[in-house]
Structure 1
Amino acid sequence: MVLNRRFHQPPMMHPRRRADISKRNVDTLFQSADFQHGVARRLAGAVQIPTVTYDGMGPVGQDARWEIFYEFSAYLKETFPKLYRALVVETVNEHGLLYSWHGSERELKPLLFMAHSDVVPAGKANSNEWTYPPFSGHYDGEFIWGRGSEDDKSNLIAMLTAVECLLDCDFKPDRTLVIAVGFDEEGGADQSYGARCLAERLIKRYGQNGVEVIFDEGIAGIEQRYGTEFALPATAEKGYVDVAVTVTVPGGHSSTPPDHTAIGFLAQVIARIEGNPFKSQLIRQNPTLTFLRQAALLSKNMPDDLRDAILETHSSKKLLEYMDADRERRAMVRTSTAVDMIQGGDKVNSLPENVTALVNHRIAIQDSVQDVKDHYIQLLAPWAEKWNFNLDAFGERRQAKNIPCRSSAVTEGGTLTLTAQYELESSPVSEWEDPRFRWLASTIKGVFGDNVVVAPELLSGNTDTRYYWNLSPQIYRMSPWRASHDPRGTRMHTVDERMPVKGLMEMVRFYHEFIRTVDEMRV
């Protein structure tokens, strides 16, 4: 690894045309308390509509739980009447929304913003732990509280508000702007009623690589690290696969148990899986490597030994040791393994015949879905042979040899079955040296200050962009606000999710300026 090649931070950039817009909106309107409270109340109203998606929801039109999304669409139309008059608004599969603000230069590829209207459940078991009810949309002048206030209704409200402010200034774009709003991003991995349908519509309309830049949600993108503010747009996502591990053995009465029940055997398998993690690697294509280089070159308080390990090629072992020492860092360089669900046994005096564990994997850039499958086969085939089990691994069956075993536990044999559910390879990596990344970095600096260091990062989760890979090679994922605005840290997907008004206004300003900047740029 050669780590000492410097990525020069681009200069901060402000839109050059229409200085009157900057004066009216950025310098005056956005500083107004009345305007800020108005935007906050818009978000509060959006939070009050419980657009929850659950795993395994049925198709739109068949599952009644989708009906609430009609109310949300009506709320947006009522809240942004000027935008609905000026833009072309399409409904896709009932609840997906596609806003198109057509530019005057049709040969320019469009800018695409993404968001989603659905939220995760708030959980009845912990409802009493919320400071305010999870769908109250309580606004206390500093925070908007409730499920979806951060993930992801804040981005959506900020985008639409930014467009409305530009409409108020009679801004007419050269480049078409598209806002695609999915409605099942938080659903199960096998659901694809929203973003997939939106992506199919856009592919037909603009063609392969027909979009200039795609910008979607991500982490709260401005963070303090090593005493320095970093903006961290993700330029890639890890892959995904769930592996179901099932042990099948003869049942019977619990009064005459074998040495190991099906659950006992499964426990051995789980211990073997957890005890043999995937190998950590930091390859050149991983955006984490670029972030580390930028941190080593530009951060204020990075320890000298870590800085040296990053910048010196012979210190790669030490660098990997540093990454492996923390689970958040480790996730950036390794395929993760999480045993999340287990099923088996239905009565205390009956030996279970079938037990299953579901293991979630977020696949690192250096690995593939097939690598995960191969890892399981290599790891568990010896175990199956030891215990005289048949091995049915991802559709390929290996018969047990039926060799007599010393332990009475396996006299009747068994089967170990491995199946893969929802296979997704890691995403393409958007090139950080591309001029479009510099457009983004320069805009971020213009909004958040020249002292902010912009560096790409890898996203360990998955967003709706998984359906949009064919639309553009430049896809960025980031929620453009300072995480430091909430001293408790971001609370997405947990109790007391909330959005600081300061962060919400940073989002509005970012989208307002990025639309104008990209409108002026040409590749």
Structure 2
Amino acid sequence: MVLDRHFHQPPVLHPRRRQDITEKNVDVLFQSPDFQDTIAQRLAGAVRVPTITYDGMRPVGEDPRWEIFFEFSAYLKKAFPRVYQALTTETINEHGLLYTWQGSEKTLKPLLFMAHSDVVPAGDSTSKEWTYPPFSGHYDGEFIWGRGSEDDKSNLIAMLTAIDCLLQCNFRPDRTLIVAVGFDEEGGADQSYGARCLAETLRGRYGENGLEMIFDEGIAGIEHRFGTDFALPATAEKGYVDVTVTVRLPGGHSSTPPDHTAIGFLAQVIALLEDHAFKSQLIRQNPTLTFLRQAALLSQSMPGDLREAILSAQSSKKLLEYMDADRERRAMIRTSTAVDVIQGGDKVNSLPESAAVLINHRIAIQDSVQDVKSHYVELLAPWADKWDFRLDAFGERRPAKKNSLKCNGINDSGDLILAAQYELESSPVSNWEDPRFRWLAGTIKGVFGDTVVVAPEMLSGNTDTRYYWDLSPQIYRMSPWRASHDPRGTRMHTVDERMPVKGLVEMVKFYHEFIRVVDEVRL
């Protein structure tokens, strides 16, 4: 099959104005070892400030663990004096940072970059497994090591460095550029002290749909798939809901146990849920389908039967089998079920009166929060009837049948309680055929090469963009560097997180060029 690849891919975009900036920065400065060392040390210094967020932190001003973020803000001001002098800088809710580079044309909607300054804990139990201490910010000439070096301080340092390099060349934008830096992206699904407040500020300032486009972190790097380099900006992200299942039964002494304790019954429930997964579907609105089609048309080494399955029958059994065969691929087309936290029992000689499990779901684009709840009721209502449990399903109560637990040696019915926390529907889907996606894709190809195939993807997790959905219809999530620069692959959220300095330079170059390209183009 011979295809015109440019028919399916947008053309390369390079900035046309100010070629002196290209010659000075892109062609010379970004290639120099001194520049690499400079930005590596900037990131290393950022890593050394342990801006950790934990689940369930109290509001800013009430929890002393937020105090370290003052030190981080002071570090940025010291590291980027030119940025702080030229841009309007604001603090939102003490630790959220908002940088505004005011453009000369007020009729142009702003471009928004997003990042976050917080990191996940390094974990005391794994501290000895790190090659270098997790907050050492060690730089060995090739990698910057430490928690947050990749997620997400690298993006923040790269953005501010790109702006700093443009300021050195006296670049003045036509289009306003905004950088919004949250501080609790890692802090748990129900926490919203940073990005929510930043989004509210921007909404009040620019209104709904007041931003041209939004770019945030996402899939790490340019990935090699099917013998081809792909850049995969996520144009949508899955929904989210946590479900707690609680079993309650009368207690007693362990010397005379029933056939099933509360923990035993809970084990049955967990097995039932895990054995009845949500249905995999690849619907037209899912950007993963667009990626697969682009891969089938343009990749170098996709197996022929898979290529045929994608191009001839997009909903074919063969294609779904391929997607389901790998958990990373499966996550793109199915609502996931992850049994993450379990609690039950107080003492070995005392029957547990309560046992509970917390189950996380990332909701596929074809499903909803209500679909998840209905799935639980359909599976567990018959089970509750069988074992004579009263069922409280998300606030709706059903009585027990009063016929089974006597056989279990218990004189009273038990309770099965289902509760949902933090309900988030899947995001709107940004249109990959929109001109603004072509601006992004053209810039990516200009930075990483015309052989890179740019295709939209689904993000299985959630970023801070969940608070920004109504600010722009075009939201993209991607960390712009080649994953191949680290042969060990991405290490975010685990031991020995590190960032290749070559990747960091690529990020600076991307932000530098994307600012210039978007400043020149018009809808």
Give the TM-score taking structure 2 as reference length: 0.98
Asked if the contact 2:405/2:412 (under 8 Å) is kept, the reply is: no
Distance, in Å, in 2 between the alignment partners of 1:319 and 1:413 is 46
Asked if the contact 2:310/2:319 (under 8 Å) is kept, the reply is: yes
- 1:220 is displaced (CA, Å) by 1.3
- 1:396 is displaced (CA, Å) by 0.2
Q: How does 1:422-433 map to 2 (within 5 A)?
A: 422-433=422-433
- 1:19 is displaced (CA, Å) by 0.4
CA spacing shift, 1:7–1:349, aligned 2, 3 Å? farther
Distance, in Å, in 2 between the alignment partners of 1:293 and 1:284 is 11
SS where residue 172 of structure 1 aligns?
coil
Distance, in Å, in 2 between the alignment partners of 1:505 and 1:407 is 69
Distance, in Å, in 2 between the alignment partners of 1:248 and 1:404 is 15
| One-letter amino acid matched to 1:209 | N
Number of the residue aligned with 1:481? 481
- 1:408 is displaced (CA, Å) by 2.3
Number of the residue aligned with 1:28? 28
Number of the residue aligned with 1:292? 292
CA spacing shift, 1:6–1:410, aligned 2, 3 Å? farther
SS where residue 335 of structure 2 aligns?
coil
- 1:407 is displaced (CA, Å) by 2.7
CA spacing shift, 1:60–1:374, aligned 2, 3 Å? same
Number of the residue aligned with 1:41? 41
Distance, in Å, in 1 between the alignment partners of 2:329 and 2:508 is 30
Number of the residue aligned with 2:55? 55
Distance, in Å, in 1 between the alignment partners of 2:212 and 2:165 is 23
Please say if 1:10 is aligned against 2:3.
Answer: no
Please say if 1:518 is aligned against 2:518.
Answer: yes
In the TM superposition, what whole-angstrom CA distance separates every residue of 1:344-364 from its partner, at most 9, and x where no partner exists? 101000001011000000000
Number of the residue aligned with 1:357? 357
CA spacing shift, 1:11–1:403, aligned 2, 3 Å? same
Number of the residue aligned with 2:73? 73
Number of the residue aligned with 1:415? 415
Distance, in Å, in 2 between the alignment partners of 1:236 and 1:404 is 47
| One-letter amino acid matched to 1:189 | A
In the TM superposition, what whole-angstrom CA distance separates every residue of 1:95-145 from its partner, at most 9, and x where no partner exists? 000000000001100000000000000000000000000000000000000
SS where residue 125 of structure 1 aligns?
helix
| One-letter amino acid matched to 1:282 | L
| One-letter amino acid matched to 1:400 | A
Asked if the contact 1:388/1:410 (under 8 Å) is kept, the reply is: no
Please say if 1:219 is aligned against 2:227.
Answer: no
CA spacing shift, 1:315–1:237, aligned 2, 3 Å? closer
Q: Mean alpha-carbon deviation: is it higher for 399-408 or for 33-42? A: 399-408
Distance, in Å, in 2 between the alignment partners of 1:76 and 1:64 is 21
Q: How does 1:360-379 map to 2 (within 5 A)?
A: 360-379=360-379
- 1:405 is displaced (CA, Å) by 5.6
Asked if the contact 1:234/1:457 (under 8 Å) is kept, the reply is: yes
| One-letter amino acid matched to 1:102 | Q
Q: How does 1:55-454 map to 2 (within 5 A)?
A: 55-313=55-313, 316-404=316-404, 407-409=407-409, 411-454=411-454
Asked if the contact 1:221/1:233 (under 8 Å) is kept, the reply is: no
Number of the residue aligned with 2:507? 507
SS where residue 401 of structure 2 aligns?
coil
Unaligned runs of 5+ in 1: none
Distance, in Å, in 1 between the alignment partners of 2:486 and 2:473 is 33
- 1:221 is displaced (CA, Å) by 2.9
Asked if the contact 1:7/1:294 (under 8 Å) is kept, the reply is: no
| One-letter amino acid matched to 1:201 | T
- 1:409 is displaced (CA, Å) by 4.5
Q: Mean alpha-carbon deviation: is it higher for 405-414 or for 302-311? A: 405-414
Distance, in Å, in 1 between the alignment partners of 2:276 and 2:220 is 32
Distance, in Å, in 2 between the alignment partners of 1:489 and 1:204 is 40
- 1:294 is displaced (CA, Å) by 0.4
Give the TM-score taking structure 1 as reference length: 0.98
| One-letter amino acid matched to 1:369 | V
Q: Mean alpha-carbon deviation: is it higher for 180-189 or for 313-322? A: 313-322
SS where residue 167 of structure 1 aligns?
helix
- 1:411 is displaced (CA, Å) by 3.9
In the TM superposition, structure 1's runs of 4+ consecutive aligned residues that sit over 3 Å from their partners are none
SS where residue 350 of structure 1 aligns?
coil
Number of the residue aligned with 2:467? 467
- 1:313 is displaced (CA, Å) by 1.8
CA spacing shift, 1:269–1:6, aligned 2, 3 Å? farther
- 1:31 is displaced (CA, Å) by 0.5
Asked if the contact 2:386/2:404 (under 8 Å) is kept, the reply is: no
Distance, in Å, in 2 between the alignment partners of 1:107 and 1:66 is 38
Unaligned runs of 5+ in 2: none
Length, aligned pairs only: 519
Distance, in Å, in 2 between the alignment partners of 1:521 and 1:13 is 10
